[in-house]
Amino acid sequence: MPYWLVSQILGLFIGISKSLLSDRKSIPGNNGHDGRKRCRNIYRNIGFVAITVLIYGGPLSSPLFSQTQSQKFLIRQISFEGNNRTQSSRLLREVVVNVGDSLTLKQVTQKLKESKEHLINTGLFTDVSTNLFFDEENPNNIRLHFLVKEGLFFIPIPIIELADRNFNVWWTEHNRDIKFLNLGMNLKLRNITGNADELAVLGQWGYDRKFIVNYLSPYFDQDRQWNINFRTYYNSNKELIYHTLNGEPKYMRNDDEYLRSKFETSLALIYRPRHNSWYRLSFGYFFNTITDEVMEVNPRYFNGDDQQRYGKISLEYSFDNRDNKYLSTDGWFLHGLLAKNGISNSDQLNSWELEADIYYYHLINDHWSWSNGILFRGHDSPDPFPYSNLYQLGSNPEYIRGYEYYHIEGSSLGVYKTSLMRKIIDRKINWGKAMPFTNYRSMDAKLFLSLNLDLGYVLDDFYRTSSFVNNDLWGGGLGLNLLLYNKFSCSFEASINQKKEVGFFFHLNQNF
């Protein structure tokens, strides 16, 4: 920033401040002393604006401002507004600064940015804004203020779910036939006690029958580092994929009985020692069955048996400092899982699982960002691996653009993804009274144009269900990526694969 502009800004601020101080009685207050206090507060906050301009847009190396940049301020208070249901103590768990910290203004600004990102990534809020205020009595003390807009906490969600593996298969191959839809209700109670705990109960009927109970507890220790997750799942299908040939799934259907049933229950202990890190230790039990009809056409579905019963223990680690986990432009995401299927000698599945995800998002400037990600899924088993437990390309994030119509399976797979994104829209849309929910009337909307490229490899030496297996795969194209309310994202993509097939695809994140 040019020095002449800096001097003009400072001169303007000083002139305004002197004018205010000379006419302090015109400022609302009980007396002249109150007016002076209010003037001093206005002057200090004007000064903060000037200092911020200098720090982020001015001559950082100038000796004139080096003292201001190095000056530290004491965090005297952290306050919240708008959290009618969410406990302030739960919000403090996401804030990366503490009362009593001594920081420079540049450090405070960075801490506010990180705290805002953590609050948004809880999924509890439609918007978060931050402010800081200088103390009226002591200009070296500051107060941090967070204004949040809470989302809905009781959410009855009608289920209209695809029985197919993705939207594109249902739209193209099954001609939008409603018989391939599942109908039901998903009831979500979020933030039950104001501590980000959640209870979800799902009931679904139709082509697939499904019942789920999922409970995430609040933190139960004083340091807010430990909580638990309990989940029970039951699913039965009248139609299933019993095998794959040349990348095309082979379906079996029986309108009179369910061909396959799955039951699982699990309990996980979650440990969060730092803001960005999680450990998860899970214990699970699985019991799956198929009919004789399925066994006849694919005896390897459960390795020659009509049922599959086993226990599972897994350990996961996650590190996440993305600016927004629903559509990221900056930060890192790391995830690793090691699991053992089959704990006792009587278990009918004996294998090890390894999963790894590494994603890096680089913010080039306010409009451009570049992302790179690699994921791996692998099994190791002393026995021939059951067909039903193969990994599949096609669901997020295990998909390669351009192959959404294919059913590609294997015992291991790896995918590399890269995207160059350009932000083309970033604005708030005010729905006004047309939106019945107050906190959803102002919608933060972002739209990005992306250039995508994916590389992948699916390994399988036993089934070899298509020519795509054990061969290099690539696909990519252009995409439009939409983010609404900071947590609902979807993408519209035009992609081409190595067979030079061009397709248009639609992807939703889990919040939708």
Question: What would the DSSP string read from start to end of 193-233?
Answer: TSSS-EEEEEEEEESEEEEEEEEEPPP-STTS-EEEEEEEE
Asked whether the predicted pLDDT for residue 394 surpasses 60, the reply is yes
Please give the biggest Cα pair distance in the chain: 94
Mean pLDDT on 420-441: 90
Mean pLDDT on 25-32: 43
Mean pLDDT on 173-180: 72
Amino acid at 80: F
Fold for the domain defined by 72-151: Ubiquitin-like (UB roll) (3.10.20)
Report domain extents, the chain: 1-70, 72-151, 324-508
Report the b/e string of 427-451 with b at 16+ CB within 10 A: eeeeeeeeeeeebbbbbbebebebe
Least confident of 224-238, 244-258, 352-366, 455-469: 244-258
Residue 381 in 3-state DSSP? coil
The tokens of 268 are what? 């996980």
| pLDDT for res 68 | 58
pLDDT per residue as tens digits for the range 347-385: 999 999 999 999 999 999 999 999 999 999 999 888 888
Asked whether the predicted pLDDT for residue 48 surpasses 70, the reply is no
Mean pLDDT on 148-155: 88
pLDDT per residue as tens digits for the range 62-121: 444 455 568 889 999 999 999 999 999 999 999 999 999 999 988 999 999 999 999 999
Least confident of 174-178, 454-458, 464-468, 501-505: 174-178
Which residues, 6 or more positions from 338, have their beta carbon under 8 angstroms from its beta carbon? 314, 315, 352, 353, 354
| pLDDT for res 510 | 60
